[in-house]
C-alpha cells in the first residue's frame, strides 16, 4: 500500500507540473461552475493574478459573458465548442477558448475543461492580409477603370477626333504602364515576404551595385541636373544577395532622384558600425517626411503625398519591398530628416570579410499555419469587401458622369444610368450584412463602430450614385441642344468633385486620417465654384432669355456636383471617426 500511495502521489505531482508548465491556459470547472484547477498561463491570460480560485465560482469571479456562455453551452450539449472573443483587461487582446466536456469521477469532478490561447497576433495578421487584398483591388481598379473609359470613348468616335485621340492614347499608355509596374511590385513583394526564392548571399562590393543602379538613370539625372555624391569606400563589402541589394538601392535612389528639386543633390553614404555591420544612408533634398508619418512609410500602399506619388509613377509598394529585403538579411531600416530639408533613408547589412557564397533556403510559409477566422470575422470582412465594391461602383459612376458632361458623350451618360441598378443592389446587400451583424450581438467595441460607420458610408455612397445619375440625365438633355458656351467653371467644379470622391474613397481604403481631413478642407472650394456657376447662369438667364432652359439644367448639374462633394466629405468625416473615434465637422455649403 505505501508503494501504491507513493506512486499515486508521484503521478499527481507530475500531472500538476505538466499543467503548470503549459504555455496554453487550462481551466477546469465542475457542474456548478466552480474552479477545479487553473494553471499560471490561464491566470495571466484572464488577468486574475494569484488570488485563490479553486472552489470559487467562475460565473461570479470572471466578468466575461462570452466565457460564461461557452461553459454553459458545453455543459448543455456535451460537445466540443470553439470561440474567439475580446478581452479588455489587463490589456486589450483576442482570446481563443476551446471548451471540452469532461467526466471526472466524484461530485466535485471537472465537467468542462477550457483551453485558452492568445490569438491577437493571428487576428492582426489576418486583418493585415484582408486590408492588403482590399488595397490591391482598389489600386488595380483605378487604372483599369480609366483605361476602359478612355477606350470606350475612342471606339465611340473619339478615334476620328484628332484633338482627342492622341491625348487619350497617351493616357491609356500611362495607365497601362502604372498597372504593369504595380503588378511587378506585387510579385516582388510576394516573393520577398514568403521567401519563396532563397537568398544567395555573398560578399558584395556596395560601390559597384550603386554604379549599376545609377547607370539607367543618367538621362533623368541630367534632365533634373541632380548631382550624386558618393561617400563610400570602394573596398567596402557587405554580406548580401546582389540581386536583392540592387532592388533596395534601386527603390531608394529612384525615390531620391525623383523627389529632389531641380539642381538638387543626392548623397549616398556607407560606413562600418558596431556589431560587424554596415550602415547605408541615402540623403535627398526633397520635401521631407513629417515625424508622424515616419513610422508608416514602410507600410504597403502608404503614401505621404498620394497625388505626387502617383504623378511620379509610384505604386506605394517600393519602401515595403525595401523593408522586407533588408530584414530578410538580418538588418533594419528607418527614415530620418526634417520637413522641407529632405529625407535620409537608412538601413544596415552585415559586414562581409571575404567572398564566400552562401545560399539561405526559403522559409516555411507562415500563412499556412494561420487558423480559419470565426464566422463573425468573416461577416466583418465581407462587410468591408462589399463596401469597397460599392465604393468602386460609385467612383466609376461619378467618373463617367463627369466625363460625359465634359466631353458631351451620350454613351458614357447612358452607361451611368445602366449601372445605377448595381449600386442600388449593392446598397441593399451592405444594409443586410450590417443588420445581421447587429442582430447576432457578437460585435463589440471597434466592430460596432465599423458597422455604424458602414451604415452611414453606404448611405452616402448610394446618394452619390443617385446624383451621378442626375448629372448623366441632365447631360443627355443638354446634348439635344446647342452648346451654351465653354463651361469653364462647371468643368473645373466637376473635376474637383471627382477628385474629392476619389480622395475620400482612398482615405476609406487606407484608413488615412490626414487624407480624409484634406477632403474636408477642399469642400469649401467646391462651394465657392458652385457660387460662381450660379452667378454665371443667372447672368445668362437675364441677358439671353433663349438660353434659360439650358442655364437651368446647368444650375441643377452644379447643385448635384455640390451635393456629391458634401457626401464625399461625409465619408471623409466618418473615416476620421472610424480610425480615431474623433468627430470632425466640415464647413457646409452656404
Q: What is the dihedral of CA 371, 375, 380, 381, to 10 degrees?
A: 40
Query: In a structure prediction context, what are the per-residue pLDDT tens digits for the chain, which is 590 residues long?
Result: 455 656 556 666 666 666 776 778 888 888 888 888 888 888 888 888 788 888 888 888 888 888 888 899 988 888 888 888 888 766 778 888 888 888 777 666 788 888 888 888 777 766 666 666 666 666 666 777 778 777 877 777 777 777 677 778 878 877 777 777 777 767 677 767 666 567 788 899 998 999 888 888 887 888 888 899 988 888 889 999 888 898 899 889 988 888 888 888 999 999 998 888 999 999 998 888 888 777 778 877 776 665 544 555 556 778 888 888 898 888 999 988 888 788 899 999 999 876 555 555 554 443 333 333 344 455 666 677 777 778 878 888 888 888 887 777 888 888 888 878 878 877 877 877 777 666 654 444 445 667 777 778 888 888 888 888 888 888 888 777 766 555 556 777 888 888 888 888 888 877 788 888 888 888 888 888 878 777 777 776 667 666 677 777 777 888 888 888 888 888 888 888 777 767 765 544 32
Task: Read off the DSSP letter of residue 364.
Answer: P
Neighbouring C-beta atoms of residue 309, cutoff 10 Å: 18
**Strand 112-118's sheet: what is its strand order?**
35-38, 25-29, 112-118, 93-101, 81-87
Partners of residue 336 on adjacent β-strands: 344
Query: Which pLDDT score, from 0 to 100, does residue 348 have?
Result: 93
Query: Which pLDDT score, from 0 to 100, does residue 339 have?
Result: 81
Task: Read off the DSSP letter of residue 56.
Answer: S
- Return left, alpha or beta for 81; rule: phi > 0 is left, psi -120 to 50 is alpha, else beta: beta
Partners of residue 267 on adjacent β-strands: 229, 283
Residue pair 29/67 in contact (Cβ under 8 Å)? The answer is no
Query: Which pLDDT score, from 0 to 100, does residue 365 have?
Result: 41
Q: Which residues contact 514 (CB under 8 A, 6 or more apart)?
A: none
DSSP line for 504-552: HHHHHHHT-HHHHHHHHHHHHHHHHHHHHHHHHHHHHHHH-GGGHHHHH
Q: Which residue has the cell 451635393?
A: 563
CA distances from residue 152 to 177, 221, 409, 471, 494 in whole angstroms, order as listed:
19, 38, 11, 19, 20
CA 152, CA 130: separation in Å to the nearest integer?
Answer: 32
Query: Which pLDDT score, from 0 to 100, does residue 280 have?
Result: 93
CA 365, CA 443: separation in Å to the nearest integer?
Answer: 31
Residue pair 228/266 in contact (Cβ under 8 Å)? The answer is yes
**Strand 333-338's sheet: what is its strand order?**
227-232, 265-273, 277-283, 342-350, 333-338
CA 319, CA 126: separation in Å to the nearest integer?
Answer: 22
pTM of the model: 0.44
CA 207, CA 211: separation in Å to the nearest integer?
Answer: 6
Q: Go through the domains of the chain in sequence order and give each one's CATH number.
A: 19-118 (3.30.450.20), 122-196 (1.10.287.130), 198-359 (3.30.565.10), 375-580 (1.20.58.220)
Amino acid at each position: 500500500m505505501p508503494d501504491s500511495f507513493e506512486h499515486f502521489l508521484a503521478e499527481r505531482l507530475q500531472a500538476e507540473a505538466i499543467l503548470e508548465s503549459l504555455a496554453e491556459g487550462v481551466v477546469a470547472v465542475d457542474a456548478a461552475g466552480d474552479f477545479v484547477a487553473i494553471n499560471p498561463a490561464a491566470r495571466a491570460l484572464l488577468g486574475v493574478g494569484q488570488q485563490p480560485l479553486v472552489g470559487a465560482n467562475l460565473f461570479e469571479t470572471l466578468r466575461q459573458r462570452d466565457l460564461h456562455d461557452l461553459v454553459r453551452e458545453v455543459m448543455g450539449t456535451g460537445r466540443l465548442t470553439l470561440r474567439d472573443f475580446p478581452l479588455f483587461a489587463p490589456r486589450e487582446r483576442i482570446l481563443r477558448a476551446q471548451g471540452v466536456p469532461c467526466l471526472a469521477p466524484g461530485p466535485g469532478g471537472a465537467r468542462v475543461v477550457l483551453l485558452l490561447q492568445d490569438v491577437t497576433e493571428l487576428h492582426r495578421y489576418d486583418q493585415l492580409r484582408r486590408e492588403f487584398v482590399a488595397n490591391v483591388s482598389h489600386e488595380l481598379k483605378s487604372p483599369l477603370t480609366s483605361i476602359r473609359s478612355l477606350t470606350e470613348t475612342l471606339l465611340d468616335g473619339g478615334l476620328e477626333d484628332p484633338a482627342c485621340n492622341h491625348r487619350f492614347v497617351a493616357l491609356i499608355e500611362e495607365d497601362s504602364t502604372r498597372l504593369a509596374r504595380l503588378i511587378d511590385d506585387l510579385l516582388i513583394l510576394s516573393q520577398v515576404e514568403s521567401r519563396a526564392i532563397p537568398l544567395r548571399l555573398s560578399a558584395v562590393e556596395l560601390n559597384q551595385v550603386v554604379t549599376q543602379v545609377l547607370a539607367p538613370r543618367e538621362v533623368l539625372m541630367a534632365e533634373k541636373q541632380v548631382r550624386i555624391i558618393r561617400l563610400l569606400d570602394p573596398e567596402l563589402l557587405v554580406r548580401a544577395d546582389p540581386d536583392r541589394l540592387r532592388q533596395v538601392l534601386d527603390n531608394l535612389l529612384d525615390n531620391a532622384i525623383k523627389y529632389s528639386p531641380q539642381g538638387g543633390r543626392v548623397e549616398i553614404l556607407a560606413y562600418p558600425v558596431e556589431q560587424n555591420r554596415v550602415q547605408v544612408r541615402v540623403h535627398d533634398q526633397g520635401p521631407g517626411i513629417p515625424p508622424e508619418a515616419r513610422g508608416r512609410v514602410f507600410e504597403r500602399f502608404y503614401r505621404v503625398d498620394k497625388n505626387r506619388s502617383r504623378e511620379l509613377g509610384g505604386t506605394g509598394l517600393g519602401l515595403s519591398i525595401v523593408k522586407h529585403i533588408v530584414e530578410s538579411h538580418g538588418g533594419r531600416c528607418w527614415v530620418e530628416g526634417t520637413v522641407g530639408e529632405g529625407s535620409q533613408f537608412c538601413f544596415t547589412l552585415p559586414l562581409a570579410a571575404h567572398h564566400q557564397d552562401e545560399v539561405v533556403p526559403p522559409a516555411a510559409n507562415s500563412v499556412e499555419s494561420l487558423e480559419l477566422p470565426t464566422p463573425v470575422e468573416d461577416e466583418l470582412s465581407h462587410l468591408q469587401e462589399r463596401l469597397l465594391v460599392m465604393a468602386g461602383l460609385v467612383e466609376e459612376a461619378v467618373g463617367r458622369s463627369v466625363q460625359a458632361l465634359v466631353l458631351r458623350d451620350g454613351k458614357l451618360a447612358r452607361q451611368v444610368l445602366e449601372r445605377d441598378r448595381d449600386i442600388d443592389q449593392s446598397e441593399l446587400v451592405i444594409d443586410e450584412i450590417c443588420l445581421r451583424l447587429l442582430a447576432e450581438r457578437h460585435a463589440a467595441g471597434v466592430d460596432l463602430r465599423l458597422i455604424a460607420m458602414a451604415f452611414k458610408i453606404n448611405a452616402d455612397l448610394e446618394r452619390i450614385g443617385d446624383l451621378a445619375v442626375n448629372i448623366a440625365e441632365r447631360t443627355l438633355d443638354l446634348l439635344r441642344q446647342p452648346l451654351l458656351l465653354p463651361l469653364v467653371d462647371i468643368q473645373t467644379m466637376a473635376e474637383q468633385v471627382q477628385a474629392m470622391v476619389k480622395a475620400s474613397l482612398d482615405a476609406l481604403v487606407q484608413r488615412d486620417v490626414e487624407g480624409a481631413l484634406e477632403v474636408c478642407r477642399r469642400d469649401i472650394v467646391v462651394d465657392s465654384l458652385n457660387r460662381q456657376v450660379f452667378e454665371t447662369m443667372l447672368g445668362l438667364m437675364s441677358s439671353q432669355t433663349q438660353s434659360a432652359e439650358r442655364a437651368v439644367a446647368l444650375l441643377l448639374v452644379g447643385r448635384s456636383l455640390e451635393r456629391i462633394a458634401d457626401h464625399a466629405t461625409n465619408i471623409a468625416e466618418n473615416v476620421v471617426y472610424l480610425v480615431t473615434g474623433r468627430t470632425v465637422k466640415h464647413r457646409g455649403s452656404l
